[in-house]
């Protein structure tokens, strides 16, 4: 009960003003923020590169082996079980399966360590929808379209942008635009809408998710041979507001600058999402406090004891009956030789080729990311629009933060903010070096300063900053990669080895990893003669 709707803005201004004053008054006084630091198990990873593993001391036989427990490996396992095939094992080097979609938890909330949302799948993503129905994400059907669980759809307000000192709803600036900005934004939106509607003669969308369902028209595929920046230049779209928004999008989904992303990939971001749902909320996302780790945990639960953690494959060769894979068991400190009829290598290209003793394709590159989970005593506020799930600043080098409790609570008290930054403004190798060389104290300071720049009201409210470093977070869809390099690699896959990873598609998206997992599983099932009906 209350009678004055003017309240919150006044409070926001009061607090903002006070906090700004305090920040100005105390520039030199800073308390070091505590927190942990983690990332992909680098020690094991580097050992893999150096080949320093003991030779196997025993052998085990398993009809089908999946090496790698990220989204692709788990999806492959899920697909095998769906086909009634239980005779497999999945090995994963980390303690927790989930790959980029892992999560963490503290006293305040669960939070993501990487991927944190899944857009409502398109009509073409049949396999994924099948899985979401099983997991209770899709709760029903109306007029032949799926109904999603409202608690798992991202709650309003989804996004806000800090633009010219004020938060506004949505991610595209709406005020203070020049006529050039407005004209370019409108033309860009029109063109993207046209691309989104376009179908080929077989009815395939121009830009689909997974991209395997996309049209192959020559003029479309030609877009993959130039950079997105080049293509935008060609259109004459030089508005700095449009270009900043496009840059945000490319860094957000690909960890890569528009100059390094192919135009096809860039357009895909804007023209591929046509969420298929009965509720007309098709442009929404599915999200959970722990991010996509909700999905990977649910798959892992279904796979149960077929998953063995702490095991890393370091050699894979064909043998007379199928394949042998040498695996190091970190807990026992010794190695095992698995003999299998079929092996699904669910790992990035640079690791899979090393295992197979092949030379990696130099066209593969990966974007490094830094993720920080920032625990705060009170929820961020700010002038203008209220706190959203995804909060982005137009003037920050980071990609902003998502609020972990956005889905679970109705209050705006203590929470965890997951802060993202793609280290895209330098070559990936340099960025990886920086990720390791810069001290955690300095990274935390950077995170804190960036966050306080967006939300001065958080001054004094930051309890801890937990860093998570991804050296190879995302495959980079550079020009020529999606429609030349990736198809070439896919064509080179030969039984008994099958490969599953989003880098076989070229876009580091849950949908792609899931598709490649299913595809590898179905191919493996065919090769060992297990009957199944395709979900692809």
User: Which residues are at the interface with another protein (CB under 8 A)?
Assistant: 1-8, 10-11, 13-14, 17-18, 150-151, 153-158, 279, 281, 284, 377-378, 386-388, 408-414
**Radius of gyration of the chain from its Cα atoms, rounded to whole angstroms:** 24
Residue 375 CB, nearest approach to another protein (Å): 12
- Nearest to another protein of 20, 186 (CB atom): 20
Query: Is residue 196 helix, strand or coil?
Result: helix
Distance CA 74, CA 517 (A): 7
For residue 2, the minimal CB distance to another protein (Å) is 4
CB nearer to another protein: give 1 or 494.
1
| Between 4 and 202, CB nearer to another protein | 4
User: How many helices and strands (H and E) does the chain possess?
Assistant: 15, 23
Contact yes or no for 266/507 (Cβ under 8 A): no
- Minimum CB–partner distance for residue 386 and another protein (Å): 5
Rank residues 78 and 117 by Cβ distance to another protein and give the closer one. Answer: 117
* Residue 292, SS3 per DSSP: coil
Taking the least distance from each CB to another protein, the nearer of 58 and 411 is 411
Question: b/e for 389-415, b at 16 or more Cβ within 10 A?
Answer: bbbbbbebebbbbbbbbbbeeeeeebb
Pick 1 or 28: Cβ nearer another protein: 1
Nearer to another protein, 227 or 405 (CB): 405
Taking the least distance from each CB to another protein, the nearer of 59 and 156 is 156
Residue 282's contacts (CB-CB under 8 Å, 6 or more residues apart) are 120, 273, 274, 275, 276
At CA 520, angle to CA 518 and CA 522, rounded to 5?
Answer: 65
For the bound state, the minimum distance from the C-beta of residue 22 to another protein, rounded and expressed in Å, comes to: 8
> At its nearest, how many Å lie between another protein and the CB of residue 6?
6
**Strand 401-403 with 390-393, pairing:** antiparallel
Least CB distance to another protein at residue 3 (A):
4
Least separation, in Å, of the C-beta of 449 and another protein? 23
Shortest distance in whole angstroms from residue 13 CB to another protein: 6
By beta-carbon proximity to another protein, the closer residue of 8 and 176 is 8
How far apart CA 96 and CA 80 sit, in angstroms, is 20
Which DSSP state fits 223?
A: G
Q: How far apart are CA 488 and CA 319, in angstroms?
A: 25
Structure tokens, 478: 């550079």
Handedness of CA 223, 226, 227, 228 (dihedral sign): negative
- Closer by beta carbon to another protein, 230 or else 408: 408
Q: How far is the CB of 408 from another protein (least distance, A)?
A: 6
Q: Which residues contact 320 (CB under 8 A, 6 or more apart)?
A: none
CA–CA separation, 37 and 371 (whole Å)? 10
3-state secondary structure of 322: coil
Through-space distance between the first and last CA atoms of the chain, rounded to whole angstroms: 53
Of 273 and 501, the one with the shorter C-beta distance to another protein is 273
Residue 337 near residue 318 (C-beta atoms within 8 A): no
Angstrom distance (rounded) from CA 221 to CA 263: 10
Cα–Cα nearest to 77, from 64, 93, 95, 61: 64
Rank residues 317 and 378 by Cβ distance to another protein and give the closer one: 378
CB of 273 within 8 A of CB of 209? yes
Shortest Å, Cβ 455 to another protein: 15
Biggest distance spanned by C-alpha atoms of the chain: 80
Cα 253-259-264 angle, rounded to 5 deg = 60
Alpha-carbon span 127 to 120, nearest angstrom: 13
Residue 515 C-beta: closest distance to another protein, Å: 26
Instruction: State the minimum distance, in angstroms, from the CB of residue 115 to another protein.
Output: 20
Residue closer to another protein by CB (options 147, 244) is: 147
At closest approach, how far in Å is the CB of 387 from another protein?
7
């Amino acid at each position: 009960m209350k009678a004055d709707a003017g309240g919150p803005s006044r409070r926001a201004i009061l607090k903002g003003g006070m906090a700004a004053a305090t920040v100005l008054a105390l520039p030199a006084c800073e308390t070091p923020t505590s927190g942990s630091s983690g990332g992909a198990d680098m020690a094991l990873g580097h050992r893999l590169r150096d080949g320093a593993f003991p030779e196997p001391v025993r052998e085990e036989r398993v009809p089908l082996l999946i090496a790698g427990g990220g989204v692709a490996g788990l999806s492959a396992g899920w697909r095998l079980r769906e086909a009634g095939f239980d005779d497999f094992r999945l090995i994963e080097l980390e303690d927790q399966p989930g790959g980029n979609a892992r999560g963490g938890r503290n006293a305040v909330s669960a939070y993501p360590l990487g991927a944190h949302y899944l857009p409502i799948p398109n009509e073409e993503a049949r396999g994924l929808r099948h899985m979401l129905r099983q997991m209770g994400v899709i709760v029903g059907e109306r007029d032949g379209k799926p109904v999603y669980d409202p608690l798992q759809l991202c709650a309003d307000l989804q996004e806000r942008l800090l633009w010219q000192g004020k938060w506004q709803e949505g991610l595209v600036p709406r005020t203070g635009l020049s006529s050039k900005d407005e004209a370019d934004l409108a033309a860009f939106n029109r063109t993207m809408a046209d691309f989104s509607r376009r179908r080929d003669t077989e009815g395939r969308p121009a830009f689909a998710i997974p991209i395997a369902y996309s049209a192959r028209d020559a003029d479309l595929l030609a877009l993959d041979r130039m950079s997105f920046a080049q293509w935008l230049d060609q259109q004459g779209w030089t508005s700095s507001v449009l270009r900043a928004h496009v840059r945000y999008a490319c860094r957000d989904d690909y960890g890569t600058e528009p100059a390094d992303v192919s135009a096809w990939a860039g357009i895909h971001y804007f023209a591929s999402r046509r969420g298929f749902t009965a509720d007309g909320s098709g442009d929404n996302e599915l999200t959970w406090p722990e991010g996509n780790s909700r999905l990977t945990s649910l798959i892992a639960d279904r796979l149960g004891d077929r998953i063995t953690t702490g095991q890393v494959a370091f050699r894979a060769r064909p043998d007379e009956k199928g394949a042998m894979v040498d695996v190091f068991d970190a807990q026992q400190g010794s190695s095992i030789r698995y003999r299998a009829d079929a092996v699904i290598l669910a790992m990035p290209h640079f690791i899979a080729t090393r295992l197979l003793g092949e030379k990696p394709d130099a066209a593969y590159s990966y974007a490094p990311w830094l993720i920080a989970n920032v625990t705060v005593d009170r929820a961020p506020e700010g002038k203008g629009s209220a706190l959203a799930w995804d909060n982005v600043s137009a003037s920050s080098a980071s990609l902003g933060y998502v609020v972990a409790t956005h889905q679970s609570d109705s209050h705006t008290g203590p929470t965890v903010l997951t802060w993202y930054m793609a280290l895209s403004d330098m070559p990936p190798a340099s960025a990886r070096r920086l990720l390791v060389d810069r001290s955690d104290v300095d990274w935390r300071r950077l995170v804190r300063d960036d966050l306080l720049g967006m939300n001065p009201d958080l001054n004094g409210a930051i309890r801890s900053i937990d860093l998570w470093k991804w050296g190879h977070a995302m495959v980079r869809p550079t020009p020529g990669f999606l429609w030349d390099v990736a198809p070439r690699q896919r064509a080179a896959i030969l039984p008994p080895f099958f490969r599953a990873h989003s880098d076989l598609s070229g876009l580091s998206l849950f949908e792609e990893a899931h598709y490649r997992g299913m595809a590898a599983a179905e191919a493996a099932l065919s090769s060992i003669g297990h009957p199944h009906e395709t979900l692809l």
